[in-house]
Amino acid sequence: MKEQVNTFLNYLAVEKGFSGNTIVAYRNDLYQLVRFVESSTKENAWENVDQQILSLFVLSLRSNGYSSTTIARKIASAKSFFSFLLEEGLILENRAQDLVSPRIGRTLPTPLSANEVNQLLGAPIKFSGREAPRDKAMLELLYATGMRVSELVSLDLSNVNLSEGYIRCSGKGSKERLIPIHEAAVEDLTFYIDTTRNDLLHNDREQALFLNRRGDRLTRQGFWLILKGYAGKVGIKSSVTPHTIRHSFATHMLQGGASLRQVQEFLGHASISTTQVYTHLTDEHLRREYDQAHPRAH
């Protein structure tokens, strides 16, 4: 059964151009389904997996304490996989199509305040040593562009145009976009490249922009730990993740007057409906501004 799953994963990678992270999520979800089918029903062919078996799988997810969001994702993975099996003629009926996903309330992101961002961006110089210029450049660049952390750590030197002030970023589905960066980010990147990166570099053939202590490309996990450490040092109480910085970038851009379409392009969202989640946050900001400014609102 895993053979068909692997064929599907290859299809997602080659034909659909899905990112590595998305492929891993599909693999985890579908391998879990394979294990359930083989261990609990003894079936070993997808054509014998009926809706009852699939419903029992969903029930097992609930009983094992999975969140509604995770269950919904696993159901979506199963539906996509069974649609693929049907299209390939490997099954005669898509028995996953009637599975019902749990209702999920859309959770609004909580951005950092401008003051918290300033504290965070100043933390490397205040608390770090040898890696301070690298960390400062990474944090400044993430907030300057709203990039995903996977996009940040995937940057090569060739993706940076400091003289023109922009970054060439490869996003989901290998779609490229150009993101302008402000002067402060340009200065921090220039200083890091001219100094600390050379100190960290062990192999002249390494093209990664951001290096770890071994001279290799910094990983997502490595950056997350760096960010978490600085957030704790400056006393930010709320949970701070790379996505928090992305949310903060989008919210602050809209509050500063950027259009929703501009922010969509910066973030690399395929649909503007994905970007519209931030309008709720901006509406709250406008409400506060109105209440403070209007003479009859007090």
Determine the pLDDT at residue 173.
66
Class of the CATH domain delimited by 114-292: mainly alpha
Determine the pLDDT at residue 10.
92
Q: Is residue 202 among the annotated active site residues?
A: no
Tokens representing 31 are 């391998």
How high does pLDDT run on average in the chain?
85
For residue 6, CA distances in Å to 1, 23, 69, 84, 281 come to 9, 10, 24, 12, 41
Yes or no: say if 179 and 145 are a contact pair by the CB < 8 Å rule.
yes
Determine the pLDDT at residue 169.
87
For residue 67, CA distances in Å to 8, 29, 213, 240, 274 come to 25, 14, 37, 21, 22
Which residue in 213, 243, 280, 288 is the catalytic one?
Answer: 243
Residues of the chain with CATH 1.10.150: 2-87
Q: Is residue 269 among the annotated active site residues?
A: yes
Highest mean pLDDT out of 193-202, 245-254, 284-293: 193-202
Residues of the chain with CATH 1.10.443.10: 114-292
Q: Is residue 148 among the annotated active site residues?
A: yes
Residue closest to 30 by CA, chosen among 67, 91, 84, 101: 84
DSSP-derived secondary structure letter, 160: E
Determine the pLDDT at residue 224.
93
- 3-class secondary structure, 106: coil
Instruction: Write the pLDDT tens digit of every residue in 92-147.
Output: 888 888 887 776 655 556 789 999 999 999 999 998 788 999 999 999 999 999 89
Which residue in 197, 246, 247, 252 is the catalytic one?
Answer: 246
At the topology level, CATH places domain 2-87 in DNA polymerase; domain 1 (1.10.150)
Q: Is residue 172 among the annotated active site residues?
A: yes
| Confidence label for 252 from pLDDT (cuts 50, 70 and 90) | confident
Which residue in 27, 79, 168, 172 is the catalytic one?
Answer: 172
Determine the pLDDT at residue 106.
56
Determine the pLDDT at residue 120.
95
Residue 291, pLDDT > 80, answer no
Which residue in 73, 95, 136, 148 is the catalytic one?
Answer: 148
Instruction: Write the pLDDT tens digit of every residue in 22-63.
Output: 899 999 999 999 999 888 777 778 888 888 888 888 888 888
The beta strands (E) that lie in the chain are given as 160-161, 166-170, 176-180
Q: Is residue 246 among the annotated active site residues?
A: yes
